[in-house]
Amino acid sequence: MLRNYLKIALRTLWKNRTHTLINLVGLSVAFGTCILLFLTATFELSYDRFHADADRIFRLNFLETNRDGTPNPSATMPFPITPTLQAEFPEIEGVTRWFDNRKYVRWQDKTFGEDVRLVDSDILTMFSFPMLRGNAKTAMTGLSNIVISEKMAKAVFGTQNPMGKTLELRLNEQWQPFTVTGVTSNAPENSSLQFDALISSRNAGDYQPNKDRWDHGSHTVFVKLKVGYTPAMLQHRMQAFMNKYFAKEVSERTGQGYPKNSLGFQKSLFLQPLTDVHFDTATTYGNGTSRVYVYSLLAIGLFILVIACINFINLTIAQSISRAREVGVRKSLGAKRGQLFGQIWGETLLLAGVALLLGLGMAYGLLPTFNKLFRSTLTIQNFLTPTVLLVTGLGFLGITLVAGGYPSWFVTRFNAVEVLKGKVKVSKPGALRNTLIVTQFAIACLLIVCTLIMRQQVTYLQQRPMGLNKEQLISVPISSDLNGTTALRQMRDRLANQPNIVSVTGTGVNIGSGLDGSSSRWMVGFMYDKREVSCDWLRIDFDYLKTLGIKLKAGRDFSPQYSTDSTSSILVSESMAKRLGEANPVGKYIEPDSGRKYQIVGVFADFNLYSLHQKAEPIVLQMLPEQRIDYVLVRVNPQNLTSAMETVKAAWNQVDPRNNFVGSFVDENVERWYKKEQRLSTIFSSAAGIAILLSCMGLFAVALISIEQRTKEIGVRKVLGASVTSIVALLAGDFLKLVLVAIVVASPVAWYMMSRWLADFAYRIDMPWWVFILSGAMAVVIAFLTISFRSVRAALMNPVKSLRSE
C-alpha cells in the first residue's frame, strides 16, 4: 500500500509540476534561510549560559540619570568597592574585578601579543573555565602568578609543560616576571569574557594610587551570590551601601536638582545578570549586541517560513477542484477519509522532506558567505548538535502538519455524491485564501519599509558632519609595550620631510573603530561655580586641531613655546564653555582634581569624538605627560593615498619592527562604528527580496489556477465585446485589492517598529512619509507584473477555444 501511495504521490506532483516546483523552491529557500538565521540567533542568545552558575553571577552597574531625566548607567567601578562588598555582604560567594587589556608576553627570545586580563582570585571558582592544570582556588593568589589558556600554552610553549615556567609581561612600561600556575580551557566563542591569560588586578598601573579612592573608576566587577539569594533581597542594603560610600556625590546631585533614577534614588548599585551583559549597549557606548538584532533574525526567519507555508496552503486549496473528483471516485470505491487524508498529507511530507534536504544543502553551501557577510561564526558542528537536530525535526513535522494538514482536511471533506454529480464548485476565492495573500504581502511591505528606513539612517550617520575632517587621515595604534610619547616623537622625526605628509599628532582615544578593535573613554565630573560639570577628558599632543581639521574659535592652540601647556593648560569645546556658563572662558580656571588647577587657553568647535548612537558630550583637551598616548594620527595629501599609507607603514615598521602594522584610514574607522546597522540593513533587504520573490511565486501560481478556472467566463466576455485591457483589469483587480489591504495593514506596524529602532540613536532622521508610498507602489507594481503576464495571455486567447475548454 505504501508503495502505491508513493507512486500516486509522485504522479500527482509530476502532473502539477509547475506548482510543485514553486512549492519546492519556496520551501527549500525558506528552510535554508531559517536554518541560518535561527542558528545565528540561537548562538547569540546562548552567550554566557554555559557557566554552571550563570543564574547567580551578576555584573555591577551604577544607575543614575542625566539632567534631562534619561538613564545614565555605568559599569565602571572604583577599586575599593570589591573588598568592601566582600566584607559587608556575606551573601556574596565570590567577587572579581575585570580589566580589558592587551599585553605583550615574552618567552625566551619570542614576543607574543596576548589578551591578558587583570582579575581577582575568585574568578576561577565563579566562572566555568575548567582548569586543565593547576588548582582553581590557589592559582591566582600570588601577585606574580599567571594563569594561561590552552591556546596560549600551545602558542608559547608548544608541547612543553608550562607549569612553573616564568614569562615576562610588558606591564606599566617595563618587563615583569610572572610564573605560570595554571592552564584553563579556552573560553568558548559564546563567552562575553575572552582571555589568553589572567593576572592579579593589583598589577594595574593605577591600583596603588587609587586603591582607596571611591571617585576613580577603571574596571568592571562581577559578583556571585550564594544559593538562595537574589538581587531583590540585597537591593535595600545595596542602597544603604551607596548612601554610605557615595554620600558626597549623592548630596551634590541632590543639591543640584538631578532627577532620581528608576529606583527612586540619586545613585544606585544595580546587579545586572551575566546573561544580559552581551546585550548591553547602554554601558558600552553602542558596542554591545542589541537584542533587537537577535529578535529581528528570528522574526525574519519566521516571516519567510510563514510566506512559504502560505504559498503551499493557497496552491493546495486552489487545486482542490481537480482533487475533488479524485476524492469522490476513491470514496465511492470505499476509501475512508483517514486514508485519503494520509495520502494527501503524505504528498506534503514527501515534498517538504525534499525541500528540507535542499534547504540544508543550500545553508551549508552558503555558510562561508553568510559568516563573512553577517560576521557570524557558524560551522557544520552547529548543524549536527542533538538540540538542533531535534528542533529541526519537530519544526519540520509541525510545518508539514500546518501547511499540509488543513489543505488535506479541506480536500477530503467533499461529499462523494455531490462531486460526482458536478455540484461542487470551489472557484470562488475564500476568506482564508484572501487572508493568507494579505498576510504574505503585508510581511513583504513591512520588510521593504524597514529596509528603506534603515538604509537612510545608516547613510545619515555616515554623512552627517562630525565637526572634523575624517578624510585623508590615518590612525596608527601604539602597542602597549611602547612608550606612546616616544613612539609619537619618532614618527614625527621620520615623517618630517615626507612630501605627502601634512601633519602628525597623538591622542589617547581613536576616532572610529580601528583595526585593533580597542575602545576607551575617560569622563570627568567636577564642581564649577556651585554646579556639577561632566565632560570627555582627552589626552592629545601638539597639532591635534590642525591634523583633525577642527576650528579654533577663541584663544590659542597648544604650542611648544608654552611650557605650561603640558602641565596646567587645557582647551575646551564650545559646548563645554556653555556648560561652564562662560561666554568667554579663556583665562578661567577649573579644578577637576583637588589641589590641581587647569587654565583654559583656547576654545574649539564641537566635534563628535564617539559614534552618533549617543549625544556628543563637551570635551576637554589636555597634554599631561603622565597620561598615555595610544594612537598616532597622520594627515596625508589626497593625491596618492596608497603611497601615503605605505610611507606611514614604512616609518612605523622602523619604530615598532616586532609587531604588525594595523594602521587604518579614519573614514573607514567611522564606517565601522555602524557595521551592526549596516548588517541589519543587509539582512532586512535580503529578507525583503526573498519575501517578495516567494510572495510573487505564490501569487503567480494562485492567479494561474484562478484564471484557468475562469476560462469560460473570459471567453463569454470577449464574445460580448470586452477588450483585452478590461479583462486584464478584471483578473488583476481582485488580487491588487488584497495587496492594497496588505499595505494598509503593514504601514502602521512598520512605523511603530522603526520608531522604536530609531529611538536608540541620539542623531536620527525624521521618518519620511514617502517611504510608505514608495514601498506600497513597489508592492503594487510587482504584484501587477506578476499577475498581468498570465492575465494578458488569457485575455488574448481565442474565445472559441475558451468556450470549448469547458
Q: Flag whether 267 is in a domain.
A: no
Question: What is the phi-psi region of residue 467: left when phi exceeds 0, alpha when psi lies from -120 to 50, beta otherwise?
Answer: left
Whole-number Å distance between alpha carbons of 547 and 501: 11
- Judge if 529 and 666 occupy the same domain: yes
Does residue 716 have a pLDDT over 80? Answer: no
Top mean pLDDT of 62-66, 177-181, 343-347 is at 177-181
**Alpha helix (H) residue ranges in 180-257:** 207-210, 231-245, 247-255
Does residue 51 have a pLDDT over 70? Answer: yes
DSSP single-letter state for residue 65: B
Does residue 772 have a pLDDT over 50? Answer: yes
Does residue 408 have a pLDDT over 70? Answer: no
Does residue 719 have a pLDDT over 50? Answer: yes
Q: Flag whether 715 is in a domain.
A: no
Higher pLDDT residue, 196 or 405? 196
Rounded mean pLDDT, 233-262: 84
Reduced to 3 states (helix: H, G, I; strand: E, B; else coil), residue 464 is: coil
Q: Flag whether 755 is in a domain.
A: no
Whole-number Å distance between alpha carbons of 208 and 672: 36
Q: What is the DSSP string of 519-574?
A: ----EEEEEETTEEEEEEEEEB-TTHHHHHTPPEEEE----TT-GGGGTTEEEEEH
- Judge if 504 and 583 occupy the same domain: yes
Q: Flag whether 477 is in a domain.
A: yes
Number of separate domains in the chain: 3
Q: Flag whether 601 is in a domain.
A: yes
Burial of 110 (0-12, 13-18, 19+ CB in 10 A): exposed
What pLDDT, on a 0 to 100 scale, did the predictor assign at position 392? 77
Rounded mean pLDDT, 385-396: 77
- Judge if 15 and 147 occupy the same domain: no
- Judge if 381 and 517 occupy the same domain: no
Tell me which of 604, 639, 672 is where a domain ends.
672
Whole-number Å distance between alpha carbons of 714 and 720: 10
Does residue 150 have a pLDDT over 90? Answer: yes
Does residue 429 have a pLDDT over 50? Answer: no
- Per-residue pLDDT of 125-149, as tens digits, reads 999 999 999 898 889 888 999 999 9
What pLDDT, on a 0 to 100 scale, did the predictor assign at position 732? 73
DSSP single-letter state for residue 414: S
Rounded mean pLDDT, 598-612: 89
Tell me which of 650, 672, 694 is where a domain ends.
672
- Judge if 414 and 511 occupy the same domain: no
Closest CA to 161 of 145, 177, 150: 150
What pLDDT, on a 0 to 100 scale, did the predictor assign at position 496? 87
Q: Flag whether 334 is in a domain.
A: yes
Does residue 426 have a pLDDT over 70? Answer: no
Higher pLDDT residue, 30 or 321? 30
Reduced to 3 states (helix: H, G, I; strand: E, B; else coil), residue 257 is: coil
Does residue 455 have a pLDDT over 60? Answer: yes
Top mean pLDDT of 11-25, 322-336, 502-516, 680-694 is at 502-516
Reduced to 3 states (helix: H, G, I; strand: E, B; else coil), residue 120 is: coil
Higher pLDDT residue, 320 or 588? 588
- Judge if 112 and 19 occupy the same domain: no
* Number of other residues whose CB lies within 10 A of the CB of residue 262: 10
Q: CB–CB of 260/136 below 8 Å?
A: no
- Per-residue pLDDT of 547-563, as tens digits, reads 999 999 999 999 888 88
Q: Flag whether 354 is in a domain.
A: yes
Higher pLDDT residue, 614 or 15? 614
- Judge if 30 and 147 occupy the same domain: no
- Judge if 115 and 17 occupy the same domain: no
Does residue 803 have a pLDDT over 60? Answer: no
Top mean pLDDT of 109-118, 237-246, 386-395 is at 237-246
Higher pLDDT residue, 255 or 96? 96
Q: What is the largest CA-CA distance in the chain?
A: 107
Query: pTM for the full model?
Result: 0.75
- Judge if 297 and 183 occupy the same domain: no
- Judge if 652 and 536 occupy the same domain: yes
Top mean pLDDT of 271-285, 311-325, 428-442, 554-568 is at 554-568
Q: Flag whether 179 is in a domain.
A: yes
What pLDDT, on a 0 to 100 scale, did the predictor assign at position 427? 43
- Judge if 410 and 546 occupy the same domain: no
Tell me which of 364, 396, 426 is where a domain ends.
426
Does residue 423 have a pLDDT over 60? Answer: no
The mean pLDDT value of the chain amounts to 81
Closest CA to 37 of 374, 276, 455, 454: 374
Rounded mean pLDDT, 254-281: 85
Does residue 287 have a pLDDT over 70? Answer: no
Does residue 311 have a pLDDT over 90? Answer: no
- The domain of 633 spans 473-672
**Predicted confidence band at 262 (pLDDT cuts at 50, 70, 90)?**
confident
What pLDDT, on a 0 to 100 scale, did the predictor assign at position 708? 65
- Judge if 351 and 292 occupy the same domain: yes
Top mean pLDDT of 161-175, 343-357, 432-446, 720-734 is at 161-175
Rounded mean pLDDT, 464-484: 85
